[in-house]
Chains A and B, each alone.
Chain A
Amino acid sequence: MPEITFQPGGKSVVVPEGTLLLDAAAKAGILIDTPCGAQGRCGRCVVRVESGEVSHRENPHLSPKQLQEGWVLACVARIKNDLVLGVPPRKEREKVVEERAGTKTAASVQCDWPRYPALRQVFLELPPPSLDDAFTDVDRLQRVLSKEHSIERLYIELPLLQRLAQTLRQSKWQVTLTLDMYDRGGEARLIDIQPGKTEGPLFAIAVDIGTTNVVMDLVDIRSGRTIERVSTRNKQISRGEDVISRIVYSEKGGLAELQRLVVEAINDLLKELSQKHNFDTKQVYQMVTASNTTMTHLFLGLPPRSIREEPYVPTASRFPVVTAAQVGVNINPLASIYCLPAVAAYVGGDITSGVLASCLFKTDKLTLFMDVGTNGEIVLGTSEWMTTCACSAGPAFEGAGVRNGMRATTGAIEEVRINSKTLEPTLEVIGGVLPRGICGSGMITALAEMLVTGVIDRSGRIKAPYVQEVMGESSRVRRGDHGAEYVLAWAAESDSGQDIVLTEVDINNLIRTKAAIYAGMAVMARNLGINLTDIEEVLIGGAFGQHIDIEEAIQIGLLPDLPWERFKFLGNTSLWGAYNVLLSKHARDKVEEIAGKMTYMELITDNSFMNELMAAMFLPHTDIDQFPTVKAALEKVGAAKTS
């Protein structure tokens, strides 16, 4: 019988040929974690064959290169002859898993914009006036600007004009101007004038105003670096969870309040940043926002009513540049605020921004870009043509409308594995702390794991008797206030000291959300005569945390069943596009071009959408043949899912 030696440590056991590595390890007293219940689903039990042979069936969790290096899954590989096995510490093994899951991690995309920000600061030394040189203060400024910076025309607003004389004289004619450059660089608007030479960062902010969350990047224009990203709930959420209920609220006299609430959220973030980095928010000189059309309307105080009424025509899709004082944002009052252009009532600046950030506008490949937020927007196309649509997904993946849902921040469960034999969950929590709730990526894995292990059926109902039978007294399924629920973490295992659960209502919301997104894709592809399997690249932006498990997103039918390498997860593309616009006027020109180029497809008037939606409200889909890999996976674990 073969002898198996485990390194480091050198323990060895003799076991029959054909024994699972996992069982051999257990016999040697070495415990290898198997969060999925030794089913070859999670890839966490990797070990390395240093010498000898094992039989190993292919497993998607290992790349060809990793197989070459000797990595195998202890729960699938069987012993053929004498073996020396390396069992590295857990950290190292996690790395192997992560490496394979590379496609899941947010990839940063660079479209190589030339650095050409609209915001500039120039230091000027002016010759003091004399009887021989009696130009006015303004003309004096203009003369030097023209000579040294080719700025032929400077616009100065009254408040700055009122203090110009004093500032120039007190600073001994040495001043720093903060300028908002106009189109071709020959004209500029004065935002601020400060005595002497200003050094240090030149602050601007990029803001993603989401229906559910507001996210802000503090950017130093001088270095081009993002100093910090902060986020908070959009305070409007107290007046309705989705855009439609906000619009309805605005119609009942709530427009001013909604405008104030979103500005408050932005100002809160500014305050947080200024305290942390010790600067005055008046030193922030520019703001670029990316948001859906309704959010842009509410932010600017434009009545959004017509967005929800046929024929769904907003006040504007391109918005004038305004100053901070006009909308109440607590940065320099004369700072300009540029809202990225929208395409239509339900495809906003967050999407044009996403197309900009994802470089979709210059690809040859047939590409699907999706932004999963409260509204799921989809763009399909190449550099030559782009079609877009919006589906009302709901805020579930952003953590709203789900009992213990939260944003992807410290304390959020971002991954769930369920042991298919014991039905016990293993959780990964952002920051490695006790969990406080569950974020979008966590919900996707939870749903997929519950499906595959038979905790829920394909309609998302919890199979209480089955779970009871397996788990007995300590069953994690119980009847709560909102029907059946599965306990992800007991009170003693959570940060709040309260159970963290996923209820049937939550599951239903998640299924509705993923169905809306998939149905949108399906309808758009069909209308264009394209098969979803023809898509060469899928770029995903939006509300998820730092990563999303592609395999499990396919298992629940959120993403089409395509080879994993076709997916790229881009993180918050809405914000990334806004950041690009802060740093390059070329990017700003491009986003205007993109907005004009996209063809909008209205799903509300499409007869087939409801049908596709109902079909998608099942796990993974009513037509499982659209998901061949999931079909195979479910058949494989069929034994586990009988009632």
Chain B
Amino acid sequence: MPVVEIPVEKWNGQVHQVKLGGVGGRKELIVGGDNTLPFLKFEGTVPHRPAIAIEVLDYTPPNWAEPLVKAWGDVLKSPVAWAKKAAEYGANAIALRLRSAHPEEGNTGAEHAKRVVTDILGAVDLPVIVLGPEVAEKDNEVLVAASEAGRGQRLALGDCFDKNYRTIGATCLADGHVAIAKTPIDMNLAKQLNILLSDLGLTMDSILMDPTTGALGYGLEYTYSVMERLRITALMGDKMTAMPMICTVGEESWRQKESKASAGVPATWGDQEKRAIIWEKLTAMGLLNAGANIIVLRHPKTVEDVKVAINKLFA
């Protein structure tokens, strides 16, 4: 029987490497550096496995789905305890969402943000990603405070939108952090924001991009397609699409009724907990295959299973 060689694509480009943490005893997380499509080790080099960050909120989430509340229990009342627990569950990073700064969720300000960030940095030695409430003015307020609180710790700060990238980009530049550029599922918009941030002075190793996650059944295929195109363009040599990608899988997946509904749904939907975790896992695995470098998850069981899957894909 003739031996068929596996066809190998030769790419010119490479995903930029971005480092989080790694300063003052904090663990280091490096993502990116691949010069091939996800998991294709036979084709090129994939120096760093995709990382898993666990999402921690800066207040007790008022309406999280029952399976999440059950899994985390009392730590949901304390961001610090929650982050410590997340570290135990094997997170590579903590993704702290400053949700309480949202005008409709408490409207906390810079002081609160500063305190929570300082506490978390003190409690865990993992790299920290700080995300704002996604309201432009409030993002500017709390992220600048978070940036100052974590000066020199190489946090990732997000999200920079096209409307407010200048404030957050500048604060990242000043305090030595990584900026997360978020754009609405469009390859050109993603590239444009990367260009704007680098025009601002941020180097290629200081930008992560969030192409906006669509959960399973809610635009996953759009996200997948845009991420795949971004990655292929980067591998073809375009440096402005070669930023590592971060996806907020947990948030999007647990937002959907398939994850939230416990009653009044068809019996064929089955057990809520099982269903919701599958939803999060499928979304995560899809996007890992599309080229995600960091995925932010919510449920410990998802974290465990996705880790196993990643390890198998790397075996």
Interface residues of A (CB under 8 A from B): 457-459, 461, 463, 465, 611, 614-615, 617-618, 622, 624, 641-643
Contact = CB atoms under 8 A, between A and B. Distances in A.
A459 B188 CA distance: 12
B191 A622 contact: yes
Contact of A622 (B166, B169, B192): B192
B162 A459 contact: yes
Nearest to A463: B166
Contacts of B187: 611, 614
Contacts of B166: 457, 463, 465, 643
22 contacts: A457-B166, A457-B196, A458-B192, A458-B195, A458-B196, A458-B199, A459-B196, A611-B187, A611-B188, A614-B186, A614-B189, A617-B192, A618-B195, A622-B188, A622-B192, A622-B195, A624-B195, A642-B200, A642-B201, A643-B170, A643-B200, A643-B201
Kindly list the 9 A-B residue pairs having the minimum CB-CB distance in the complex, ordered from nearest: A614-B188, A615-B188, A622-B188, A618-B192, A622-B191, A622-B192, A643-B200, A643-B166, A457-B196
B32 to A, nearest CB: 21
Contact of A459 (B170, B186, B192, B201): B192
A458 B194 CA distance: 11
Contacts of A611: 187-188
Contacts of B170: 643
B243 to A, nearest CB: 14
Given A615-B188, A617-B188, A641 B195 contact: no
Interface string B172-213: 000000000000001111011001100111000000000000
A618 B188 contact: yes
A618 to B, nearest CB: 5
Contacts, number: 39
Contacts of A643: 166, 169-170, 200-201
A618 B199 CA distance: 13
Interface string B54-96: 0000000000000000000000000000000000000000000
Nearest to A614: B188
A220 B166 CA distance: 60
B17 to A, nearest CB: 23
Nearest to A617: B188
A470 to B, nearest CB: 16
A10 B200 CA distance: 48
Given A617-B192, A622-B240, 18 more contacts: A457-B196, A457-B199, A458-B192, A459-B192, A459-B196, A461-B162, A463-B166, A611-B187, A614-B186, A614-B187, A614-B188, A617-B188, A618-B195, A622-B195, A642-B201, A643-B166, A643-B170, A643-B200
A615 B188 CA distance: 5
A458 B189 CA distance: 12
A511 to B, nearest CB: 11
Contacts of B201: 642-643
A459 B194 CA distance: 11
Contacts of A618: 188, 192, 195
Interface string B206-229: 000000000000000000000000
Contacts of B188: 611, 614-615, 617-618, 622
Nearest to A624: B195
Task: Give the residue among B169, B199, B200, B240 with the most A Cβ atoms within 10 A.
Answer: B199
B119 to A, nearest CB: 32
A615 B200 CA distance: 20
Contacts of B192: 458-459, 617-618, 622
A643 B196 CA distance: 10
B144 to A, nearest CB: 14
A459 B195 CA distance: 9
Contacts of A615: 188
B149 to A, nearest CB: 23
Task: Give the residue among B162, B170, B187, B192 with the most A Cβ atoms within 10 A.
Answer: B192
Contacts of A458: 192, 195-196, 199
A523 to B, nearest CB: 14
A556 to B, nearest CB: 15
A7 B166 CA distance: 50
Nearest to A641: B199
Nearest to B200: A643
A642 B195 CA distance: 13
Nearest to A612: B188
Contacts of A624: 195
Interface in B238-256: 240
A425 B119 CA distance: 51
Contacts of B195: 458, 618, 622, 624
B192 to A, nearest CB: 5
A637 to B, nearest CB: 12
Interface string B152-173: 0000000000100010011000
Nearest to B193: A459
Contacts of A461: 162
A624 B239 CA distance: 12
Nearest to B194: A622
A463 B195 CA distance: 15
Contacts of B240: 622
A624 to B, nearest CB: 8
Contacts of B162: 459, 461
A59 B200 CA distance: 29
A463 B200 CA distance: 11
Nearest to A464: B166
A557 to B, nearest CB: 12
A641 B201 CA distance: 10
A459 B192 CA distance: 8
Contacts of A642: 200-201
B167 to A, nearest CB: 9
